[in-house]
Amino acid sequence: MPHKTSAWPLALIYVVLVVYASLYPFEGWRDQGIAPWAFLASPLPKYWTGFDVAANVAGYVPLGFLLALSAMRRGGGTQVRAVLLATGAAFGLSLGMEMLQSYLPVRVASNVDLALNVAGAWLGASIAWVLERLGAIDHWSRFRDRWFVQDARGALVLLALWPAALLFPASVPFGLGQVFERLEAALAEWLEDTPFLEWLPVRDIELQPLVPGVELLCVMLGALIPCLLAYCVVRTAGRRLLVMLLALAMGVLATALSAALSWGPVHAWAWLSAPVQAGLVASLVLALVALPLPRRGCAAVLLLALAVHLSLLNQAPASAYFTQTLQTWEQGRFIRFNGLAQWLGWLWPYAALAYVLLRLSRREPQN
């Protein structure tokens, strides 16, 4: 029987990342009058750097690993076949990206990039094959069966994506999902010079920044949400405690990394103000209190926490400090990464909301 693995949805998400990174900024498309596959016969580039080589190889290693792991876990073939399928799929993706890059003025299709991408995918798939041969994958499967309920795949994918969603700067630490202000601005721009512009709701008063008490509440809920999500799929209270501590540690480290990337390593902990510290302590206390709750009870509390968290965040404007941080990402060195990370930060809580609603609508499995 095929094993339901988190590797497959993670592989699909990583494909989206590769497409985004390969084709950004998605504008200026033009036909140069040459075949899109002409780059395959081009001479080798005269100038290249070790960073370029490492980036092209490393960028496809996770994809090859996830694709091969997914093929092994889902059954239907040997381990060698899984490696070949993963490498072949990565070759097709990389070839398609390089061909499309020939239509973009700021990108250059390269046969060397194609070869390095395929080498990276093969390396990642080989790592999955070695781990399978050593029994590490089976060990993880047994570990997952002991620690998590059978239908934990969706929650595990969301938990794996949560630290990545925190990498894009948020107006409030752990404050994912603040989209209404930008959504209003985008709708107003799209509907400009049309009669539908008057249909948009107009706010009579200017939005006020969050006061420290509300900021504390947002931080508390933002840090508590992944803990409650983990509680929905972890079997025992003792194991919940370990997963909760790991989730909070990963969240704090991801937020510190985001600050370091934005303002430099010396400012990695500048976000840890008094309200944020109090919010983190409060989230830890509430997470401890929630340890003995049944899984459906955790899902119900999670639903309430998500609703309150998103409501509070979206009733506040983005600060000038936050706007400056966004400019650092959107116009600086993170220009190819910011869009996907931003969308992940925007959509993660809504995906978690959909997941918990779906979970509450189903009968809880007895396992």
- Helix H, strand E, coil C: the string for the chain is CCCCCCHHHHHHHHHHHHHHHHHCCCCCCCCCCCCCCHHHHCCCCCCCCHHHHHHHHHHHHHHHHHHHHHHHHHCCCCHHHHHHHHHHHHHHHHHHHHHHHCCCCCCCCCHHHHHHHHHHHHHHHHHHHHHHHHCHHHHHHHHHHHHECCCCHHHHHHHHHHHHHCCCCCCCCCCCCCCHHHHHHHHHHHCCCCHHHHHCCCCCCCCCCCCHHHHHHHHHHHHHHHHHHHHCCECCHHHHHHHHHHHHHHHHHHHHHHHHHHHCHHHCCCCCCHHHHHHHHHHHHHHHHCCCCCHHHHHHHHHHHHHHHHHHHCCCCCCHHHHHHHHHHHHCCCCCCHHHHHHHHHHHHHHHHHHHHHHHHCCCCCC
Same domain, 171 and 120: no
In a domain, 307, yes or no: yes
In a domain, 255, yes or no: yes
Same domain, 197 and 172: yes
With a cut of 50, which residues of the chain have pLDDT below it? 1, 204-205, 320-321, 330-336, 338
Find the Cα–Cα–Cα–Cα dihedral 266, 325, 16, 100, rounded to 10°: -110
Domain boundary residue among 147, 181, 202? 147
In a domain, 32, yes or no: yes
In a domain, 170, yes or no: yes
Residue 77: its pLDDT value, please? Answer: 58
Same domain, 174 and 301: yes
d(CA 168, CA 185): 20
Q: Are 303 and 361 in contact (CB under 8 A)?
A: no
In a domain, 81, yes or no: yes
Same domain, 233 and 254: yes
Residue 206: its pLDDT value, please? Answer: 54
Same domain, 216 and 306: yes
d(CA 80, CA 68): 9
Same domain, 305 and 353: yes
Tokens of 38: 């002409």
Task: Calculate the average pLDDT of the chain.
Answer: 81
Same domain, 37 and 85: yes
Same domain, 137 and 212: no
Instruction: Report the interhelical angle of 153-165 vs 7-23 (nearest 10°).
Output: 30
Domain boundary residue among 147, 171, 198? 147
Same domain, 165 and 143: no
Same domain, 134 and 214: no
CA gyration radius, the chain: 23
In a domain, 1, yes or no: no
Supply the range of the domain harboring residue 64: 7-147
- Count how many domains the chain has: 2
In a domain, 367, yes or no: no
Residue 202: its pLDDT value, please? Answer: 56
Same domain, 283 and 315: yes
Domain boundary residue among 147, 176, 200? 147
Q: Express each pLDDT in 156-177 by its tens digit.
A: 889 988 998 888 777 788 988 8
Same domain, 73 and 176: no
Residue 334: its pLDDT value, please? Answer: 47
